[in-house]
Chain A
Amino acid sequence: QLSLFRLTVRRPFSASHSSVDLEEIKKFQLLAHKWWDEEGEYAALHSMNDIRVPFIRDTLLSMSHNYHLGSPLSGVKILDVGCGGGLLSEPLARLGASVTGIDPLEDNIRTADQHKSFDPVLAKRIQYKSSSLEEIVEESMETFDVIVASEVVEHVADLEMFIKCCSQVLKPEGSLFITTINKTQLSYVLGIVVAEKIMGIVPEGTHEWEKFVPPEELEHLLESNGFSVKTVNGMLYNPLWGSWSWMENTSLNYAVHAVKSGAQGQSGPTDAPSETDIQQCSATAGTA
């Protein structure tokens, strides 16, 4: 098993920090071909599109001045970090965006490439790369209008570094969208015990409660790294109908929209990214 994924996982750029969490990778390796079964292991992620795509779409539309409702995200460059099989990349591309999807697991990228290949419109608009976030920072400084990191930050080793890297590849006043899980007693009971062990909504072992991120912590990290948090919304999954909805309460799942400050104001402790920062930007997205 171990030797198998030495072949498939690219070695991290810098060995000083563990970049991609290898344990995390192993979990997703086994399910790499299950992404596109809408009623299979990833069913909850498929139905999450029903709220996360409108959330991203409407937020971007409200900040834009000219758009066409037939292709609302036309001209927008999006980076989908931890894209997995491309579940979120494809709808965003259908809405007109140019999407770059990255994931450290090659099998995921293969599945994603394979799935988009049948649709010429998607094949053109989406580029997938087997890569960690840090590996694309150098060549992608301030390249993207939007970054989405959906169900990713709870798998990441060093969250602050992850956010710093996001800031570097994002254009000034670009948007960052994150969805993740709060670290509460409720999220342990419902998110791990019920969701994984009892109901099998999420494949067992996918999540570790210790790595869940409270919104206060996420907000703090974002604000101290040049972002301005605009929206925090709670999300709720109804296992009976298999559907998601918004709610006030953020004790379980939640979504965040943050905007990178304009060219003038970098409110982080370091102004320009240093050499060590780039090399240390090794807390890449795990898989999601």
Chain B
Amino acid sequence: SSAAMAAACGRALVPPLASLWARPRPGPRAPLRGASVAAPSQPLYDVVVSGGGMVGSAMAAALGHDIHFHDKKIALLEAGPRKEYDHMPDSYSNRVSSISPGSATLLSSFGAWDHVCSLRLKPFRRMQVWDACSEAMIIFEKDDLDDMGYIVENDVIMSALTKQLDAVADRVEVFYRSRAIGYTWPLPSHSCVTSPWVQIELADGRRLQTKLLIGADGHNSVVRKEAEIKNIEHQYDQSAVVATLHLSEATDNNVAWQRFLPTGPIALLPLSDTASSLVWSTSHEHASELLAMDEESFVDSINSAFWSNINHSDFIDTAGALFRSAISLLKPSGTAVRQLPPSVAKVDPESRAMFPLGMGHATEYVQHRVALIGDAAHRVHPLAGQGVNLGFGDIACLAHHLSAAAFNGSDLGSLKHLLKFETERQRHNVSLIAATDLLKRLYSTRLAPLVLLRTWGLQATNALPPVKVRISLY
């Protein structure tokens, strides 16, 4: 009877014993915003992914193809319109990603990698990283001459993901042109009156409910902000300039090149035997200059950046050479021949662009019924080529835990398995983000002691296979 119900709920509203392990719940705003008791017409999803970029789309596709999610309802919210990727233009897009073998494995687990391979991608076997201020360099390659990674245009990845989402359209509903403008968080689970689900309000007034909200909405994540998760962030005094370049002559273009200039690293990523993608991180002013200058000067700047020894000092060169001979005595195979990067002939018109760089890390990746993945959880400098791979790693981990939870009949929004995801990924991500940040700072200087340190460090690392293998496996 309703009277008994009210009495029972009255008891339930007595505040429970505070638990030492309770983490702060989001939303003191929870009962104030939106309906506290959900209207039955509001559709209820098992999982809603907010953000339809590479990471959000891959997350939705991974769950949609998971056997234990066969009877579940998933929604993907994307603010932009649906893009058709039927025809790949002949020219390359200037936004590319370096895809690690681990990410390729994830993409093939739900059939997307095959699509990527049938469109276009460029495997690379070797990575040469060297310093502008010295002769020091490090070369990564796998002993068995396997592919170390793949350079893939972001549009190609999105095309493959869209195809695989279409394949499970009965399970995954994609809402295009749908921006979420508000979230209402549930009260702690043992309260009985209000809805236990996350309420989502879209810009057009539609409302959804979900048992688990996954925030994949980029480094300015609204999900993260609304959940009041503290984010440690730092804007670098750098922007990245990207462009599509054409090489002077066709070559077996299977090496990724990166040179650390004092102003920032410049990288040449292979797209084909005649084309490469540029990612040049440099000061904001220099980046604007690079965008403004004419094409010939732009190409000259690039070639000079890779070939010029203007930043060498005799002192460093001598010290470096001494160290190198020491290594070659101790470990004859520990010094490698420096290859020369290809020279650039021209740049694709209209392909130059720039975007500001920063780093960020969310202090929590999860809360009750909320999880963050990709740039919403962590943002990193492109010098390590890791950005999207971290996001794909998040997906592999979260999908694994959600799949097990579904097969155990668990409530998908329960912190128990979400915390396992957070612990695993934070352990992995924090060290990589910190190392990348450290490298960025270490290489942003001409000061002799630091150059010497990094010179010797780089040379030593190059001579030590175990360390190198660990780095390349990351």
Contact = CB atoms under 8 A, between A and B. Distances in A.
B408 A110 contact: no
Nearest to B13: A33
A93 interface: yes
B44 A33 contact: no
Contact of A40 (B4, B17, B409): B17
Contacts of A115: 192
A210 to B, nearest CB: 29
Interface residues of B, number: 33
A119 to B, nearest CB: 7
A96 B407 CA distance: 11
A118 B196 contact: yes
A118 B195 contact: yes
Interface in B46-104: 67-71
B197 A33 contact: no
A34 B16 CA distance: 8
Interface stretch (B160-168, B337-345, B393-401, B410-418): B410-418
Contacts of B427: none
A46 to B, nearest CB: 8
Contacts, number: 80
Q: Pick the most buried of A34, A35, A38, A114: most chain B CB atoms within 10 A of its CB.
A: A38
A71 interface: yes
A38 B4 contact: no
Contacts of B67: 69-70
B352 to A, nearest CB: 48
B407 A40 contact: no
A75 interface: no
A50 interface: yes
A199 to B, nearest CB: 13
B189 A37 contact: yes
B17 A94 contact: no
A66 to B, nearest CB: 15
B16 A69 contact: no
Interface in A40-68: 40, 47, 49-50, 53-54, 57, 68
Contacts of B192: 33, 111, 114-115
A269 interface: no
B181 interface: no
Given A95-B409, A118-B195, A70 B71 contact: yes
B16 A36 contact: no
Given A40-B190, A69-B67, A118-B195, A49 B5 contact: no
Contact of A38 (B44, B71, B189, B406): B189
B188 interface: yes
Of all A-B residue pairs in the complex, the 6 with the closest CB atoms, nearest first, are: A70-B70, A91-B409, A37-B190, A94-B409, A33-B12, A39-B19
Interface of B: 4-5, 8, 11-12, 16-17, 19, 21-22, 38, 44, 67-71, 188-190, 192, 195-197, 406-411, 414-416
12 contacts: A32-B11, A33-B190, A40-B17, A49-B408, A53-B408, A57-B408, A70-B70, A71-B71, A92-B409, A94-B410, A114-B192, A118-B195
